[in-house]
Structure 1
Amino acid sequence: MKVYEYKVKIKLKNDLQYYELPDKLSYFIDSTLGENEEFLKYHGNSHYKGYVHDFLYPIESNGIYQKNKIYTMRIRMIEEKLVQYLMGKLAFHETNEFIAIGGEIKIIPKRNIQQLYSITPVILKGPGQGYWRDWMTLEQFEKRLKDNLIKKYKFFTGNELDENFSLYNLIEFKNKVPVKVPYKNIRLLGDKVILEIADNKQAQELAYLALGVGLLENNSRGCGFVNFKYM
C-alpha cells in the first residue's frame, strides 16, 4: 500500500468564508469524479472512499479566503486508479468557486510514525448527528476510532488483522469545545486530536493507512485529515 499526496493549486473566483470551504471543496472533487461513469458510481457508492482532503492553506486568520488569491488543497489517496484519474483531471478543473491551476504529486514514505495530529476535525456521527460525548464514553469513542481503521484496512487491503493490539499510547484532545463542520445544511461536531502511535506492526500499518483515508468518518468531505511525525 502506498499513500499519495496530491497538492492542487486553486484560485478563488470570489471571496469565501471559512465555513463554506468543506462543502465547496468537496463539490470541487465530486464534480471531477462525476465526469466519468466509473468514478461517478464510485462517488455514489456507500463504501469507504480511498481518499481524504484538507481545506485551503495558507490559512486566513480572519476566516475570509480572498478572490483571485491562490491557495493549496491536499488530497491523500491510496488507490492508484483514482490517483491517475484525479491527476489527469483535477489540476485543470473549474467550478463556480474555484479554478485549478496545476498540481504536484508525491508518495509519503512508509516509516515508523510517532504521532498523528488533526488538520481537520475528526467526526464521529451518532444519533441525530449529535456530539459523541452526549451519548458515549471516552472508552467507547476510542474503540470506535480503532475499529473504524481496522475495517478500512480490511476493506482496502483484503487482509485480516490481529486485532489484539494497542493503536496508540496516548490520545489528547486539543479543543475545549466541539469543533463545528458544515455538512448538508447542518453542523457536525468534531474534535482536534493528537495520537501518540504505539510501536507495533499493526498500529504502524493503521497509522500509515490513516494518512491516506483519514480518521473516523466523513473523510471524503474533508474530515479526519491528519498529519504526522516520524519516530
Structure 2
Amino acid sequence: MFFELKLTVLLKKSTHHLQILEPIGNWLSQAQLGDPLLKQTHYEKSYKHFVFSNLYPVEKDGLYQEGRIYVITVRSSLEDIAARLQQCLKSCRESDYFQLIASELKPRRLGHITELLTVTPTVVTIDGKPWLPDDSLELLIERLHANAEKKYKSLKPDAVESMKQPFIQGAFIENRKPLAMVYKGRKLLGNKLHLLIQEDAYSQKLANVVMGSGLAEKGSILGAGFCLAKYLK
C-alpha cells in the first residue's frame, strides 16, 4: 500500500516539461519547512519516502502553458508523510510557478505488480557519473534493486528478508538518448525505463516501495523515478 496526494494547481509560468520538475520540488521543499518533523528530515541525509509526478495532462509539444490547470500527483509509502505534506501545502499555497487550487489524499492498494513504467526519468549514478544506455544493463538492475531494498529496510528496519536475485526480471530503456532534467543550474541525465517484476512476495514488496518512494535517486527533489504499474486485479 502507498498513499497518493492529488494537487490541482494553476500554472503561473509557461515551462518545458523537463524544466518544471525542479520548481515542483522547490515548492514542496519550501512547504515542508512549516512542519517540524518534515523540516528536520528535509536536512537529513535519509530517504524522504515520497516522489512526485510531472504536470498532467501532458502537453503534446512538451511546453506547459501559463494560466492552465494541471494535476501533480505526490506519492508516499507513509501516510503520515503524505498527510503532513497536504497540511503544509494548505499554508504554502503559492510559489513563483504554482497556485494550489485543491488537494485530495487517498490510500492506494495494488494487486500483483507485473511491470513498472517510469513516467519521469530515472536517475542512477555510478561513481559520481550518470548511468547511460551504453553501460551495463545488469549493473543498472543491480543498482535499482539495491536502492529499493535500502528504502524497504528503512521503512521496515526489523525486516530480515533478502534475496539473491534482483526483484527486476528484465529492463528496457524507453528513450534513444538520455533525458536531461534541469537541477541547480546544470543538466542531470536520466532514462525512462520499463521493468518486468519478479513474482515472489519479497519482489512485490520492493515494487510497492518503488511506487510509494520512487525508483532510484532524486525522487523527492526532482520527482525522478515516478512510476506507473501494470498489475493483476
TM-score (norm 1): 0.93
Paired residue secondary structure (1:123): coil
Point out the structure with the larger helix share.
1
1:10-45 Cα shifts (integer Å, max 9, x gaps): 101222232320110001101110122321111111
Could you tell me which residue of structure 2 aligns to residue 70 of structure 1?
Answer: 69
Q: Structure 2 CA distance, aligned partners of 1:163 and 1:225?
A: 24
| Residues 168-207 of structure 1 mapped to structure 2, 5 A cutoff | 168-207=168-207
Aligned partner of 1:32: which letter?
A
Q: Is the 8 A contact 1:150 1:161 kept in 2?
A: no
CA-CA distance at 1:91 after TM superposition: 4.8
Consecutive unaligned residues in structure 2, runs of 5 or more: none
Alpha-carbon separation, structure 1, partners of 2:203 and 2:128: 31
Q: Give the aligned residue type for 1:171.
A: A
**Residues 34-80 of structure 1: per-residue CA shift (max 9 Å, x gap):** 12232111111110111000110111122221122110000001222
State the identity as a percent.
28
Unaligned runs of at least 5 residues, structure 1: none
Shift in alpha-carbon separation, 1:164–1:128, aligned structure 2, 3 A: closer
2:197–2:207 Cα contact (<8 Å) kept:
yes
> Alignment RMSD, CA only?
1.7
Q: For residue 39 of structure 1, what is the aligned residue in structure 2?
A: 38
Match of 1:48 in 2: 47
Number of aligned positions between the proteins: 229
Contact 2:35 2:84 in 1 (8 A): no
Q: Distance between the aligned counterparts of 1:166 and 1:128, measured in 2?
A: 23
Partner Cα distance (2:29, 2:181) in 1: 18
